[in-house]
A and B are shown apart, each in its own frame.
Chain A
Amino acid sequence: MQLTEKHNEYWRRNLKYTAVLLAVWFLVTFVVAWYARELNTITFFGWPLGFWFSAQGSLAIYVAIIGIYAVLMKKLDKEYNVDEGDLE
């Protein structure tokens, strides 16, 4: 079937969400790990900050990234009328 301009817009917005969330993922993974020694000089509730990120901060942010994506996409599906309808 032929996609309308609205469909393309839906996909572009999906890509935008994906890119932003991926950037956050990259930041709390690779940037944080790369600068772990520098971050470790800061103390955060007893933890050296670099250690804290790798041991739980980044992990919690991963959970949040996935949760936010699910919520955003549910809204987007409805807005562009490509949602599957509610489960009975």
Chain B
Amino acid sequence: MSTQAFSHKTFKSNLTKYYTFYTGGFIVFLIALAIAEQLGTSRQWIGYWFLFATIGLYAGIGIMSRTADVAEYYVAGRRVPAFFNGMATGADWMSAASFIGMAGTLFLAGYDGLAWVMGWTGGYCLVALFLAPYLRKFGQFTIPDFLAERYGGNIVRTIGIISAVVCSFVYVVAQIYGVGLITSRFTGLEFGVGVFVGLAGILVCSMLGGMKAVTWTQVAQYIILIIAYLTPVVWLGMKHTGIPVPQIAYGYTLQKVTELEKKITADPKEQEVRKIFADRAKAATAALASPAQAHADGKAKVDSTLADLKATGAPADKIAAAEKAVAAYPRDVTAAQAQWKRETGLAARAAPPRPHAQAFPGKDEAAQANARLNFIGIVFCMMFGTAALPHILMRYYTTPSVQEARVSVFWSLFFIFMLYFTAPCLAVLAKYDMFSNLVGSSFATLPAWAAAWAKVDPTLLNITDVNMDGIVQWAEVVIGGDLIVLATPEIAGLPYVVSGLVAAGGLAAALSTADGLLLTIANALSHDLYYKMIDPNASTTKRVTISKGLLVVVAIVAAYVTSLKPGDILFLVGAAFSLAASAFFPPLVAGVFWKRANKWGAIIGMAAGLGVCVYYMLRTYPFFTNMGVPKMDLWFGLSPVSAGMFGLPVGLLTIIVVSLLTAPPSRKVQELVEHVRYPHLKGDTLVSEGR
């Protein structure tokens, strides 16, 4: 170890003391705010308190952890105990999408949404069995480091740098977007301002202390995010299952949901609403067939209605409504076509509720088989992507030993599991609550949370009385996925302070992931590109200074890209996983488990894996094909997000074939492989702790 006087035992017990004290302090803070709310503090101020108190706290930890030492800056001095590294990895891993989006996806997609839950947890088995202990033994600073040392040469390192930067950058944009969204929603600041407030939070955490600061803030962030996620679910669970651990009892709630789904499917009023949507969609499709005629007919119809009403001396409010309809009628055929196109989308609302528990629903056997294949595809790509994302793998460089790295993967998944096995429960509880309390209520007396959210943000919750009967039908409700987590405190009838807590949790999730990603990008550029390839004689101070500078530059570029609000972020996140799986997983695993794997195998294998993955996405994803890339049919009907399912096997196969066709690696490389396979070898000449 680096310092003689350092004691792991004392360090660990001190950490436990600090973080217990911290958790207690946070709970006191919550209680104080709850009292303040009772005394009349406004909601906006509670939002500000959460925002500035938590960011200030992270900043405080970041400043206390400032360092200019290379090992401290890149790998937190390699002394993070397994338990704490597990918490840090949990926060690093769980992004805004996991925290806010996951339960919503499950709410909307039912069983099929569980592909993400399985994929994002099962990947840790691969990390534990194939990578973490060996990377720890290797003991350098970055993932390209390992590839370069194992396969030799700057070509491999360069491909490693590019892949690391691309997947991390795509992912970090999604995080900063989440930060902007949360700050703007809960404080009323503008989206752009929210992005930069969040950015400041990210930078104070990571810039001064690198990995050391990021690690200790991530532990703090994990504690906040898990308290924030579990509190409302426990409350809602008490309401519906009667026990404070609803995760083990919501099976029966799920049964009730299934019963209610059947009732909703058969209910005549529900059918009436669905028929209205089906008719409107059909009418729009017909209108689109002969737009000019339909536009003229429609115009004539609204005009004559108004004329008739006026002629017969109808009441003023009816005339006003008819005048409004005339004014709102599309001016020209193009505008009318756009409106009809939107209306055809209503066909989706004409369908009965999707059975929550049913796996792979579909109209026929072929559609069901396709749904199943795509489920498997997502699970596959998310798992292997997890085991190849550099910002996660890097965390296992920071433990004191190989054994601690193994134990640390256990704690990582344990802490992630806490949230991921709660999300499906929350989705079911929220659905049950809405089926039993929202559906069937009258529009005059909507549940308070529904009335509030429908007013605040119609993209998250939209309820319109389509069949004019004054009663809410499920078919009349449109829900945006993010609503589930954001509105749960109110659905459960908790005070506003808990809503603020949830926002703080979402912020912690987004900030912690963004920190880890930015650090990965900055390290790949400063350590791998600058130090290893451009100026190997750079002093340690210079290396750390350059890394800090790059961090700021990358953060600003990422915030700029975010402010452009690039399209489908969920696709980008999925794509990052597929890319990482195709590029990194085969060479990393072959590097440890197959001595014969060599330089050219790795280079051509990585290129082939990435190439196939990118090619498939380019040729099939609408975003690219709309830009003029020639479109092709899906292979086996597999969606573009799962491109890694082709990229990874191709990459692995190429490594094997090319390696066997070219000369075996040198004795020195084979010794390196032996070195990483054993936690400790007596008489081993290779140094392990990093330079």
Chain A residues near B (Cβ < 8 Å): 1, 3, 7, 10-11, 14, 18, 21-22, 25, 29-30, 33-34, 36-37, 40, 44-48, 50-52, 54-56, 58-60, 62-63, 65-67, 69-70, 73-74, 77, 81-85, 87-88
Q: Give the docked Cα–Cα distance between A81 and B679 (Å).
A: 10
- Asked if residues A82 and B128 are in contact (CB atoms below 8 Å), the reply is no
- Take A34-B376, A51-B254 as given contacts and tell me if A82 and B680 are in contact as well, using a CB distance cutoff of 8 Å: yes
- Asked if residues A21 and B129 are in contact (CB atoms below 8 Å), the reply is yes
- Take A10-B678, A62-B122, A87-B9 as given contacts and tell me if A37 and B359 are in contact as well, using a CB distance cutoff of 8 Å: yes
Main secondary structure of the interface of B (DSSP, over half): helix
Contacts of B9 in A (CB 8 A): 87-88
- Asked if residues A83 and B407 are in contact (CB atoms below 8 Å), the reply is no
- Per-residue 0/1 for B112-135: is the Cβ within 8 Å of any A Cβ (1 yes, 0 no)? 001101100110111011100100
- Asked if residues A50 and B421 are in contact (CB atoms below 8 Å), the reply is no
Picked from B254, B360, B679, the residue with its CB within 8 Å of the CB of A36 is: B360
What are some 22 contacts across the A-B interface (CB < 8 A)? A1-B681, A1-B685, A21-B125, A33-B375, A33-B379, A34-B376, A37-B360, A40-B358, A44-B251, A45-B248, A47-B254, A48-B254, A51-B359, A54-B111, A59-B121, A59-B122, A59-B417, A62-B122, A63-B417, A65-B125, A66-B406, A84-B402
B415-466, CB < 8 A from A: 417, 420-421, 424-425
- Per-residue 0/1 for B375-387: is the Cβ within 8 Å of any A Cβ (1 yes, 0 no)? 1100110010000
- Asked if residues B128 and A84 are in contact (CB atoms below 8 Å), the reply is no
- Asked if residues B124 and A60 are in contact (CB atoms below 8 Å), the reply is no
- Asked if residues B358 and A45 are in contact (CB atoms below 8 Å), the reply is no
Q: Give the docked Cα–Cα distance between A29 and B30 (Å).
A: 40
Using CB atoms, name the residue of chain A closest to B425. A55
Picked from B376, B679, B682, the residue with its CB within 8 Å of the CB of A30 is: B376
- Take A52-B251, A62-B125 as given contacts and tell me if A11 and B118 are in contact as well, using a CB distance cutoff of 8 Å: no
For residue B544, CB closer than 8 A to chain A, the reply is no
For residue B227, CB closer than 8 A to chain A, the reply is no
For residue B624, CB closer than 8 A to chain A, the reply is no
Contacts of B421 in A (CB 8 A): 55-56, 59-60
Range of interface residues on B (Cβ < 8 Å): 35 or more
B635-691, CB < 8 A from A: 671, 674, 677-685
For residue B13, CB closer than 8 A to chain A, the reply is no
- A-B CB proximity, top 8 nearest: A46-B251, A36-B359, A47-B251, A54-B114, A46-B252, A55-B424, A87-B8, A70-B406
Using CB atoms, name the residue of chain A closest to B258. A48
For residue B92, CB closer than 8 A to chain A, the reply is no
Q: Give the docked Cα–Cα distance between A70 and B396 (Å).
A: 14
Q: Give the docked Cα–Cα distance between A82 and B674 (Å).
A: 12
Q: Give the docked Cα–Cα distance between A56 and B680 (Å).
A: 37
Contacts of B247 in A (CB 8 A): 56
- Take A33-B118, A50-B359 as given contacts and tell me if A84 and B417 are in contact as well, using a CB distance cutoff of 8 Å: no
- Asked if residues A33 and B680 are in contact (CB atoms below 8 Å), the reply is no
Contacts of B682 in A (CB 8 A): 81
- Take A30-B376, A36-B359, A51-B254 as given contacts and tell me if A58 and B118 are in contact as well, using a CB distance cutoff of 8 Å: yes
Q: Give the docked Cα–Cα distance between A59 and B417 (Å).
A: 7
Residue of B253, B255, B424 with most partner-chain A CB within 10 A: B424
Contacts of A48 in B (CB 8 A): 254, 357
Contacts of B410 in A (CB 8 A): 63, 66-67, 70
Main secondary structure of the interface of A (DSSP, over half): helix
- Asked if residues B114 and A40 are in contact (CB atoms below 8 Å), the reply is no
Task: For the A-B complex with A22-B125, A82-B678 known, give 19 more contacts whose Cβ atoms are closer than 8 Å.
Answer: A1-B674, A14-B677, A29-B122, A37-B372, A46-B255, A48-B357, A51-B111, A54-B111, A54-B117, A55-B421, A58-B118, A58-B122, A65-B129, A66-B406, A67-B410, A70-B407, A73-B133, A85-B680, A88-B8
| Shortest distance between the CB of B106 and any CB in chain A (Å) | 8
Q: Give the docked Cα–Cα distance between A25 and B129 (Å).
A: 11
B345-397, CB < 8 A from A: 357-360, 368, 372, 375-376, 379-380, 383
Using CB atoms, name the residue of chain B closest to A45. B251
- Asked if residues B403 and A54 are in contact (CB atoms below 8 Å), the reply is no
Q: Give the docked Cα–Cα distance between A37 and B425 (Å).
A: 20
For residue B152, CB closer than 8 A to chain A, the reply is no
Picked from B7, B359, B402, B671, the residue with its CB within 8 Å of the CB of A40 is: B359
Contacts of A3 in B (CB 8 A): 674
Q: Give the docked Cα–Cα distance between A48 and B360 (Å).
A: 14
Contacts of B359 in A (CB 8 A): 36-37, 40, 50-51
For residue B409, CB closer than 8 A to chain A, the reply is yes
- Asked if residues A77 and B114 are in contact (CB atoms below 8 Å), the reply is no
Contacts of B255 in A (CB 8 A): 46
Contacts of A62 in B (CB 8 A): 121-122, 124-125, 413, 417
Contacts of A59 in B (CB 8 A): 117-118, 121-122, 417, 420-421
- Per-residue 0/1 for B182-195: is the Cβ within 8 Å of any A Cβ (1 yes, 0 no)? 00000000000000
Contacts of A45 in B (CB 8 A): 248-249, 251-252
For residue B414, CB closer than 8 A to chain A, the reply is yes
Q: Give the docked Cα–Cα distance between A59 and B117 (Å).
A: 8
- Asked if residues B681 and A51 are in contact (CB atoms below 8 Å), the reply is no
Picked from A10, A22, A84, the residue with its CB within 8 Å of the CB of B129 is: A22
Residue of A34, A48, A66, A82 with most partner-chain B CB within 10 A: A66
For residue B401, CB closer than 8 A to chain A, the reply is yes
- Asked if residues B379 and A69 are in contact (CB atoms below 8 Å), the reply is no
Q: Give the docked Cα–Cα distance between A88 and B252 (Å).
A: 49
Q: Give the docked Cα–Cα distance between A44 and B357 (Å).
A: 13
Using CB atoms, name the residue of chain B closest to A17. B129
